[in-house]
Chains A and B, each alone.
Chain A
Amino acid sequence: MSDVFSNEAPDSAVRLAIERVKAEQSVSDLEGLELGTVIVNMGPQHPSTHGVLRLVVTLDGEVIRDVIPVIGYLHRCKEKLAERRTYFQYIPIPDRTEYVAGMNCEWGYVLTVEKLAGIPVTRRAEFIRVIMAELNRIASHLVAIGTFVADLAPLGTAMAFYTFRDRERILDLLEAASGARMMFNYFRFGGVRYDLPDGWVEKCREFLDYFPPKIVEYENLVNDNAIFLQRTLGKGVLTQEDVKEYAITGPNARASGVKHDLRRTRPYSVYPELDFEIPVGTHGDVYDRYQVRIAEMRESVKIVRQALDMLPKGPVQLGTLRPPYVITPPPGACYTAQENPRGEYGTYIVSDGSRYPYRLKYRDPCFVNLQVFPKLLKGVKIADAIAISGSMDLVLGGIDR
């Protein structure tokens, strides 16, 4: 007997799930389904899907047979908006794609426009950009790790309390420099908006001395916990083949052993002058993804220290008083990408010589990483599925744009 507990007609994703079940079992209608097959909706409002992600899950008891991700619940028309805002007016908008890593996303947009228009960046601003981006990388990984561990345990927000405490310190630094806690609107073409305030460098160094023992604290919290290890070791393995086929980038790819980091493979800004390692994992499971993020935080601390030491004096933006407000890049198209905490975040901009971009397309890492979910979650229990999706670190703002 088929029971549908819903007042609405099934939408296209649920219909697709039903079709697939029918095809697999070659039954002509749902009457003949074997007992235990349930098609369930996870989301778009769900405590564990980070953001408004909807997973239409076909379950066989507790084991997932098929997953159809449905996105678009946060589609905010950013690509169309680009055609109605000038290049300068558009700068705050990429912030709101991957909203936990705003500085990196702004950089991804600003890099492309600077390349299209041939705008050079001042040297001091390059170092400030690196510092801000790496601090934001640490903040983003703190959110990722905190919410990931919070997903694993019923009220396991203990880890999240610690990571968010340290994230607040980073946000204080970023707020002192840019004026906002999350949506920074700090990058400009040719530099950054404000120079670092007096005493900022000292405060930043204080934070860099304070932080590495905290990473040890996080590791002490969970790394030896038997339940954590049971839930994360060997789960959700992404092979190197998967990484290649599905174009997965970022810590998810590096956990599988692929040393793909745009700061080294496609260097931009002053990263070639900085000395840091690319942490890689070996097995590509949930535990490795968590470990890679922890290691990346340590590397980011190293990078910020070096950048602070090498920070030259000079202007932080082109032009004497004002940043260039009206930019008309020559006609052409360009794609550049930068290493977001989640992977390769790039923008492909087509310009027709006017003040408005002709076409802006985001290459968002989470959008691409989400495609591997049906393969990754097949045959997995629901509890493990939550752990796996938490470890993939999705931010729906980027997926839906």
Chain B
Amino acid sequence: MGIEIGAVKLTLDELGTRLQGEFGDDLVDLRVQEPDTLVARVDRHKLHAVAAKLKGLGEIAYDSCNFVAAVDYVTHLETVYHLYSYSTNTYIELHVEIDRDNAVCDTICDIYPAANWHEREAWDMMGVRFEGHPDLRRILLKDDWIGHPLRKDYVDLVENHPNV
């Protein structure tokens, strides 16, 4: 079974229309970002369902997760999912808005195993808790680090620095 990259030849607009048809309301503000990315917003509670459906779309399936990023816009947080489809050779970027004080999001690492460590990093750096993640521990910082550094209001505590 070989993975053919770009076997399905669809322009981005055609792909966008098709996805809009499949998902309807779930993909909000679907737009095209040249050269090969579709960008959309997804509601937090629909994320898991949308991701599962994207993975199982058949010949245009988005079968691999490139990265998961978390961004801190001061009023809210946002997780960005970047998924890649080998058959159409396109990417889709999903933006999920998350409440800042109660930063919880559904995990997609049961669908995309590659998202596992990215979600751990998002927890470590930004404090986004992923529900359903099998092993949500800190990944880059020490286990007893206090705080989530990439937040805009991060304060570096003295307890984090026993070696200075």
Report whether chain A binds chain B. Answer: yes
CB-based nearest B residue for A70: B139
- The answer, among B5, B72, B114, B140, for a CB contact under 8 Å with A75, is B140
CB of B6 within 8 A of CB of A258, answer: no
Distance in Å: Cβ of B144 to nearest Cβ of chain A: 9
- Shortest beta-carbon distance from A206 to chain B in Å: 37
Let me know if A149 is at the binding interface, CB within 8 A.
no
Say yes or no for A42: interface residue by CB 8 A criterion.
no
Which of B17-25, B46-54, B81-89 sits within the interface? B81-89
CB of A359 within 8 A of CB of B71, answer yes
* Residues of chain B from 114 to 164 with CB closer than 8 A to chain A in the complex: 114, 116-117, 125, 135, 137-143, 149-150
Interface hits, A46-80 → B, CB 8 Å = 71-72, 75, 77, 79-80
In the complex, identify which listed stretch (A192-200, A241-249, A299-307) lies at the interface while the others stay far away: A241-249
Supposing A71-B139, A246-B114, A363-B67 touch, asked if A257 and B150 sit within 8 A by C-beta, the answer is no
Given contacts A240-B3, A244-B3, A259-B5, contact A72 B71 (CB under 8 A): no
A367 within 8 A of B: yes
- Which one of A12, A257, A363 lies within 8 Å of B143 (CB-CB)? A12
Which residues of chain B (54-82) have a CB below 8 Å from chain A? 63-67, 69, 71-72, 80, 82
User: How many inter-chain residue pairs (CB < 8 Å) link A and B?
Assistant: 93
Task: Give A361 to B149 CA distance when docked, in angstroms.
Answer: 14
* Closest-CB distance, B84 to chain A (whole angstroms): 7
Pick the residue among A80, A260, A358 that contacts B86 (CB under 8 A).
A260
Shortest Cβ distance from residue A46 to the other chain B in the assembled complex, whole angstroms: 19
Tell me the nearest residue of chain A to B35, going by C-beta: A266
- The binding surface of chain A is classed by DSSP as mixed
Taking a contact as CB atoms under 8 Å apart, the answer to whether A240 and B2 are in contact is yes
- What is the CA–CA distance of A333 and B82 in the complex, to the nearest angstrom? 13
Closest chain B residue, CB of each to CB of A350: B71
Number of interface residues of B (CB under 8 A): 39
Instruction: Give the residues in chain A near B3, CB-CB below 8 Å.
Output: 240, 243-244, 257-258, 260
What residues on A are CB-neighbors of B112 within 8 Å?
245, 247
Q: Which residues of A contact B143 (CB under 8 A)?
A: 11-12
From residue B73, how far is it (CB to closest CB) to chain A in Å? 8
| Max chain A C-beta neighbours (<10 A), residue from B36, B69, B149 | B69
Residue A16, interface by CB 8 Å: yes
A295: Cβ under 8 A from any B Cβ: no
In angstroms, how far is the closest chain B Cβ from the Cβ of A339?
13
- From B71, B82, B150, give the contact of A80 (CB < 8 A): B150
Complex Cα distance, B2 from A401, in Å, reads 33
B58 to chain A, nearest CB (A): 15
Chain A residues contacting B66 (CB-CB under 8 Å) are 247, 344, 346, 363
Q: Are A265 and B72 in contact (CB under 8 A)?
A: no
Give the nearest-CB partner of A267 in chain B. Answer: B35
Report whether A265 and B140 are in contact in the complex, using a CB–CB cutoff of 8 Å.
Answer: no
What would 17 A/B residue contacts be, using CB atoms closer than 8 Å?
Answer: A72-B138, A72-B140, A72-B141, A72-B142, A80-B150, A243-B3, A245-B63, A245-B112, A245-B114, A246-B113, A247-B64, A257-B3, A258-B5, A265-B5, A359-B71, A361-B71, A363-B66
